[in-house]
């Protein structure tokens, strides 16, 4: 193969076996990016989709195209056993001499999920007895409302029924709330009196 020696693992006189690597050879001309997609976003990612690749070493973002999306999900790490990722392969539209194999980059893309939908902060969601609910402040009192949800991101969740635009929801401290208790509303949070 054509390429450059990026690393030498053995020195003259070292013993080497058939499974011991001797050199790492890189070919910068065929550089591509491996992207990790969160499992909840994998339905939005497809081959042919355009993305933007950024890195600290790059003065400007590079355009890329997703070549393929992996067929299996993997655990993100030992601490986050439930968090899964799917790997995608991205071809760069142009090569940059500043990028090197093994560098970390950020890959960003966008997809239209739906138009004119109601969303709320994900931390407002209360899950009990297998159902979704939210605490709403109406007329100065707390009320637990059952809701139905749709797509979600790591920040927001779509509400398909049970809430209306303009409803005030409790975003934090929802664990010990009680129905009918008085509540005072402040920006981005509701507190119990």
Write b or e for each residue in 118-138: b if 16 or more Cβ atoms lie within 10 A of its Cβ, otherwise e.
bbbeeebbbeeeeebbbbbbe
Please state the length of the chain.
193
Once rounded to an integer, what is the mean pLDDT over residues 71-92? 80
Please check the confidence at residue 113 and state whether its pLDDT lies above 80.
no
Percent pLDDT > 90 in the chain is: 30
CA angle, corner 131, sides to 130 and 132, nearest 5? 135
Task: Report the alpha-carbon distance of residue 48 to residue 36 in Å, rounded.
Answer: 16
Handedness of CA 186, 191, 192, 193 (dihedral sign): negative
What CATH number should be reported for the domain whose range is 118-192? 2.40.420.20
* The two structure tokens encoding residue 183: 């509540």
Task: Report the alpha-carbon distance of residue 179 to residue 142 in Å, rounded.
Answer: 6
Q: Looking at 27-36, 52-61, 162-171, which range is the least confident one?
A: 27-36
Q: Which residues pair with 149 in a beta bridge?
A: 159
The answer to whether 2 and 27 have CB atoms below 8 angstroms apart is yes
Q: Where are the domains of the chain?
A: 31-108, 118-192
Task: Report the alpha-carbon distance of residue 101 to residue 146 in Å, rounded.
Answer: 50
The answer to whether 139 and 130 have CB atoms below 8 angstroms apart is no
The reported pLDDT for the residue numbered 53 is 93
CATH class of 31-108: mainly beta
Task: Report the alpha-carbon distance of residue 170 to residue 191 in Å, rounded.
Answer: 8
Q: What's the predicted TM-score (pTM) here?
A: 0.56
pLDDT digits (tens, 9 = 90+) for 2-52: 888 989 999 999 988 899 899 998 877 777 899 999 887 888 899 999 999
The reported pLDDT for the residue numbered 192 is 45
**Tokens 């009192």 appear where?**
141
């Amino acid at each position: 193969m054509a390429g450059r020696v990026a690393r030498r693992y053995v020195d003259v006189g070292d013993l080497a076996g058939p499974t011991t690597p001797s050199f790492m050879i890189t070919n910068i001309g065929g550089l591509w990016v491996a992207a990790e997609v969160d499992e909840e976003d994998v339905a939005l990612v497809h081959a042919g989709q355009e993305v933007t690749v950024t890195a600290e070493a790059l003065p400007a973002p590079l355009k890329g195209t997703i070549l393929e999306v992996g067929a299996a999900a993997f655990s993100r790490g030992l601490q986050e056993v439930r968090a899964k990722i799917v790997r995608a392969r991205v071809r760069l539209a142009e090569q940059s001499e500043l990028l090197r194999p093994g560098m970390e980059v950020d890959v960003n893309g966008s997809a239209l999920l739906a138009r004119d939908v109601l969303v709320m902060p994900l931390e407002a969601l209360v899950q009990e007895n297998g159902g979704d609910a939210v605490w709403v402040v109406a007329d100065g009192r707390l009320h637990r409302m059952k809701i139905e949800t749709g797509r979600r991101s790591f920040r927001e969740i779509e509400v398909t029924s049970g809430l209306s635009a303009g409803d005030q929801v409790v975003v934090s401290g929802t664990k010990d709330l009680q129905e009918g208790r008085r509540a005072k509303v402040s920006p981005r949070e509701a507190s119990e009196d």
